[in-house]
A = this chain, B = another copy of it.
């Protein structure tokens, strides 16, 4: 599976051009049929199905097919990146608070003075202060508002 001998092959050499093409096509539209993919890469549909099975189950390179939602269309007009340094003894409370906040769409625990880096989706700037006030009881925070996203979330380079 993902940690088998075959995996070493991927880390050390690379996926062939057809696998790369399949990943590229699916990253643009994960709902393309095997038949459509097959026409694009010049293989038969069963061959495409077998390659995808290997990418998913053997190599573990493809971990999921998912949907992207447009935050704006859902009314989220603002993204904030908040660095959070819990006060002594508050680390677990803070981590739990972040995990249980649905407006936190991503949170990493990092080295350095700031323990957490969280990404918040907000409906308006008015939501920010109450959120920070709640954390302020347990942590120091440093907030940045996202003005633009020069690199929107993209795939890891495929070797």
Chain A residues with a Cβ under 8 A of chain B = 2, 7, 10-11, 23, 26-31, 59-76, 79, 81, 95, 98-99, 102-112, 114, 116-118, 121, 142-159
Contact = CB atoms under 8 A, between A and B. Distances in A.
A154 B69 contact: no
A147 B61 contact: no
Contact of A68 (B7, B59, B63, B70): B63
A144 B111 contact: yes
A63 B76 CA distance: 14
B65 A61 contact: no
A106 B27 contact: no
B26 A67 contact: yes
Contacts of A116: 150
Contacts of A63: 68-70, 73
Contacts of A151: 98-99, 104-107, 118
Nearest to A143: B112
A99 B152 CA distance: 10
A60 to B, nearest CB: 4
Nearest to A101: B151
A150 B10 contact: no
B70 A61 contact: yes
A149 B107 CA distance: 6
